[in-house]
Structure 1
Amino acid sequence: MQVDYFIIAPSPYNSDGLKYRRHRLVEKLVKHSLTGTVYWICPYKTGSLNRRISQSKISKKMVEVRISEFKALFSSRRGFKNSLLKSLIADSSEKNKKVLWYSTPSYSGLTKYKIWDKIIYDCSDFWGSPWERGGSLLHLKSGIIDKVIRSSETKIIEESELIFASSAFLAKRISDIKEATVIENGVEFEQFSSSTDKKLCEIPSPKIGFIGGIKNKIDYNLLYRLSTSYPDYSIVLIGPNSTSGSSAKELESLKKLRNVYKIDGIDYSEVPSYMKSLDVGILPYKKIDYNQAVSPLKLFEYLATGIPVVGYGLPTTKKYSADGIYIHAETTKEFVEACEYSIAISNEERYIKNRKSVAEKHDWDNKLSQMINNTLLDIKN
């Protein structure tokens, strides 16, 4: 038996250089002996009203299917669904089983076709909950989009035979319709724990840093308070910047401080080395609805490199709080003080061992194997 997977994704595979949960899944799938082809299906900006659906081969077992954003607006129309479906299955073997796997609640109309041997929804975000609101017109527009997203998500949940959620918060949201299995985000433990190279040598120590997408969901006012409270600490932000509105202004104010260092996106293979170079890893998130659901990828990555972590605005992580390992702060004052304390005990060997021990229990390989095995369980030959 061979299985073709049709992964519904929110953006092109290499859109921002970051690796998310869906990327790890695909990497695992293409290595699996029972996988035929993995199709990565996503919208993209064309700059025109181009109505074509384009395909490109990413690897021997993987094909990216791009759909113009304009065309995606009409995803519920029969003509669109028929043309998309025809495009998707054109190269798929008739003998292969077909799994429709949603990593984002788009193209819900595809669930109505009878060709799928299984439909799966892996919910890893609080879809339909915005990071930031603008003026009244933007608020109205965002509200309409949020309702469309939630409606599409409900349809997908109803049609899915198997549902995963990256946090208990998300599973609870879904539970009104169907039960979801909680599988939190993890870490490539061997890759992160074995890193010995160090970067950032030109930046003075101690170094407190965040590595990831520089987005609107990050609390830049919190970081401003940290930077001004301890001007001798170096605050390092590493990642591609996609901020907008008030968040972009707050970030610009933060970057003007002499002890703040902003580094653009780095190659993913270098992330462990950059993390290893920090004294403390931080998760400085805003206290907003969206972040209540976040299972941060960076928590176990930081810990795997042996450094302590301080978080804010991430209630899903409170259960991992432990002395010398992780502190989840409830106030700005607590966050600043927790960073100071974590620097003081950063290099203590007993804590380093404990941090790595916690991270090892959350290796991606085990989590993804569980998801794939559960998927294959009920697919009959």
Structure 2
Amino acid sequence: MKNIHVIVATGDWAQDQLRYRRHRLAEYLQNHPDTKEVIWLCPTPVQKGKSNTRLSNGINQWTIQDLLPHKVFRFGRYIDEFHRTKLQPLLLYLKKAQEQYTINLWYTFPGFPILSEIFPWNKVVYDCSDLWTSPINGKNSIPANFRKNIISKAENRIVQKAGVVFCTSEYLRTRILEKLDAEEKVFTFENGVEFDLFANNPTRMKNILPVHFDGTVLGFIGGIKPKLDFDLIKEVAQKKREWLFLLVGPDGTNDHPKFKNLLTESNVLWTGSVAPSDVPKYMNLIDIGIMPYSSSEYNQAVFPLKLFEFLAAGKSVLGMNLPSTKKYAEESVYTHLDTNDANQFINVCEQLEGIKNHENYIHRRKTLAKTKNWNEVFEDMLLLV
């Protein structure tokens, strides 16, 4: 029997033009010889056109409209009453197929928890990539606590229904085991990398860096979100005017004043959102990859997608407040700091600056990244499903 895989995702496929773990998982399953169909099920603030659309990659996207368009109403994604009826067309579609195909449900965030209970799924899998109950900015508030309680209840239901749970960090695995005392079905699989895409793509994006600039470029690629330490980047930028800070990705801060303030620095350049196919070209503009995360409970659980992408491109990397990545710390390859001290940041980058083009270190970085290819990660996961 071939499989139909339903993947519960956080937003529509092209949202912010970013490619997350769930996108790679969906494409891996879509290309698997045992797959009949992959359905990308996601919430949408505003319904545009039909609720189901066949994407150019063959994946079938189904959208469920939020309670109301404003972001504050997204809590409805975790409450049965707001999506029970809207899920019925999908369930009718699946019921017609269940005699011919094995139908599996993959949660990549704890939305639509009732879905795990109202259909006879062959398998339910939870692929947990974030500490969903924790505010991304690290700040507690009444709305944050309200959101935490709702999401925690939804996640508990999904964890109980899941036959297997995958986590992107040991911290997340520990948190899941607090909800589910069953070590035999909870596994850690860190994020991987499309190795060939970054390791064998020498093209540089043109007309981005200032004319005649020949200094060191420190770069971050990904969603610009409150989990980053904008104050730290600003302080370092002011102290090291000869460095250029290149930020590549959409603004996910909701116009946070600290991010806006950072962009006033003459040696900070923000590109905004870029096409996923262009990301390697931007990567090739960077000398040192930076992951300047702030200290928060949310970031304790994070395993950044960009770590192995930087390394696959041969770039040295500096990460901050990312305990899940410490095990990969290696001289001239990856440096991790448990502090947001600007002087330590500068000292590390000055050391990395001196060996940025050293062939032996470039080879070592790529060698490490090659062991984390996405297809191999997903092959190992699928063996446990």
TM-score, scaled to structure 2: 0.90
Structure 1, unmatched stretches of 5+, are 376-381
| Distance of 1:239 and 1:185 partners within structure 2 | 19
Change (3 A) 1:255 1:119: same
Q: How does 1:48-127 map to 2 (within 5 A)?
A: 54-59=51-56, 61-70=58-67, 73=76, 76-77=79-80, 80-81=83-84, 84-90=87-93, 93-94=97-98, 95-127=100-132
Change (3 A) 1:83 1:305: closer
1:313 aligns with 2:321: yes
Contact kept in structure 2, 1:9 and 1:102, CA below 8 Å: yes
Contact kept in structure 2, 1:329 and 1:338, CA below 8 Å: no
Question: Counterpart in 2 of 1:149?
Answer: 151
Q: Comparing 118-127 with 271-280, which one deviates more in the overlay? A: 271-280
| Distance of 1:228 and 1:44 partners within structure 2 | 40
Task: Select the residue among 203, 206, 211 that pairs with 1:197.
Answer: 203
Question: Counterpart in 1 of 2:349?
Answer: 339
1:351 aligns with 2:380: no
Name the amino acid aligned to 1:93: A
Q: CA deviation at 1:132?
A: 2.5
Name the amino acid aligned to 1:62: I
Question: Counterpart in 1 of 2:376?
Answer: 366
Contact kept in structure 2, 1:124 and 1:165, CA below 8 Å: yes
| Distance of 2:57 and 2:271 partners within structure 1 | 34
Question: Counterpart in 2 of 1:262?
Answer: 270
| Distance of 2:82 and 2:290 partners within structure 1 | 48
Change (3 A) 1:69 1:53: farther
Contact kept in structure 2, 1:285 and 1:314, CA below 8 Å: yes
1:22 aligns with 2:22: yes
Contact kept in structure 2, 1:108 and 1:152, CA below 8 Å: yes
Question: Counterpart in 2 of 1:378?
Answer: none
Change (3 A) 1:4 1:340: same
Task: Select the residue among 324, 328, 336 that pairs with 1:328.
Answer: 336
SS for the counterpart of 1:235 is strand
Q: CA deviation at 1:199?
A: 2.6
Q: CA deviation at 1:244?
A: 3.2
Contact kept in structure 1, 2:52 and 2:62, CA below 8 Å: yes
Deviations 1:315-353 (A, max 9, x none): 111111111101112231322211111111111111111
Q: Comparing 69-78 with 356-365, which one deviates more in the overlay? A: 69-78
Change (3 A) 1:143 1:79: closer
Contact kept in structure 1, 2:290 and 2:317, CA below 8 Å: yes
Question: Counterpart in 2 of 1:215?
Answer: 225
| Distance of 1:41 and 1:371 partners within structure 2 | 21
Contact kept in structure 2, 1:42 and 1:66, CA below 8 Å: yes
Structure 2, unmatched stretches of 5+, are 69-73
Q: CA deviation at 1:159?
A: 0.8
Question: Counterpart in 1 of 2:5?
Answer: 5
Contact kept in structure 2, 1:186 and 1:362, CA below 8 Å: yes
| Distance of 1:301 and 1:60 partners within structure 2 | 23
Identity, % of aligned positions: 33
Change (3 A) 1:69 1:78: closer
Name the amino acid aligned to 1:84: L
Q: Comparing 278-287 with 267-276, which one deviates more in the overlay? A: 267-276
| Distance of 1:105 and 1:286 partners within structure 2 | 25
Task: Select the residue among 190, 193, 205 that pairs with 1:184.
Answer: 190
Q: CA RMSD in A?
A: 2.2
Deviations 1:214-264 (A, max 9, x none): 11111101101210121111111111112137xx11111211111111111
TM-score, scaled to structure 1: 0.91
| Distance of 1:4 and 1:213 partners within structure 2 | 30
Change (3 A) 1:11 1:324: same
| Distance of 1:166 and 1:44 partners within structure 2 | 25
Q: CA deviation at 1:191?
A: 1.0
